[in-house]
Amino acid sequence: MPVVEKRVYTPSELAEILGMPKNALLRAINEGTFPLPVMRFSRYFFIPKAAVDKFLKGRQYIDNDPPTLQEMNRFYKNPPGKTKHLGFQVTRELHEQFNRVCTNINMNLEKPLNKSDFLRIAVQEFVDRRPQYEGGEVG
């Protein structure tokens, strides 16, 4: 039987490669904070090998030093204390549609976005389309 080149990783495989707990990796995927594109089939997750390779190639390692505050701010895109968490639920159908759109957009991007990035874009677009409501008092 011919050897087939691996094109995707399971969360267990990727957790082992990255040296991190599988539960932490799955939590990041489910919270939308995982920095790589994720494909979902039924209840199974797969991470494209090409995205992992590209991510690891772009990382710099310096004697296992912890990241600086500047590096963390660049990773999270917003300085600590200047953000608010929007915790809300959506229907399963809307969630699946959102995931499909995110996945399709990421196929055309050199650097994939995570769910948090897409949610920030969606909220900004929502606000931008309703300028007539920005000036009024909230209350």
| Digit-coded pLDDT (tens) for 3-20 | 788 899 999 999 888 888
Q: Is residue 72 part of a domain?
A: no
Q: Is residue 17 part of a domain?
A: yes
Instruction: Residue 12: give the domain boundaries.
Output: 8-60+77-132
Q: Is residue 127 part of a domain?
A: yes
- pTM equals 0.43
- Which residues have CB under 8 Å from 115's CB, separation 6+? 31, 32, 33, 34, 102
Per residue in 42-76, pLDDT (tens digit) is 888 999 998 888 888 776 554 445 555 555 444 44
Q: Output b/e per residue, 96-135; b: 16+ Cβ within 10 A.
A: eebbeebeeebeeeeebbbbbbbbeeeeeeeeeeeeeeee
Strand partners, 101: none
Q: Is residue 3 part of a domain?
A: no
Q: What is the tally of structural domains in the chain? A: 1
Q: Is residue 138 part of a domain?
A: no
Residue 9 in contact with residue 17, Cβ under 8 Å? yes
Q: Is residue 33 part of a domain?
A: yes
Q: Is residue 16 part of a domain?
A: yes
Q: Is pLDDT larger for residue 79 or for residue 127?
A: 127
- SS3 assignment, position 136: coil
Strand partners, 8: 48
State the virtual CA torsion across 79, 81, 83, 89 in degrees, nearest 10: 130
CA distances from 79 to 58, 115, 124, 129, 138 (A): 22, 18, 18, 26, 25
Candidates 21, 56, 20, 17; CA nearest to 35 is: 56
Q: Is residue 2 part of a domain?
A: no
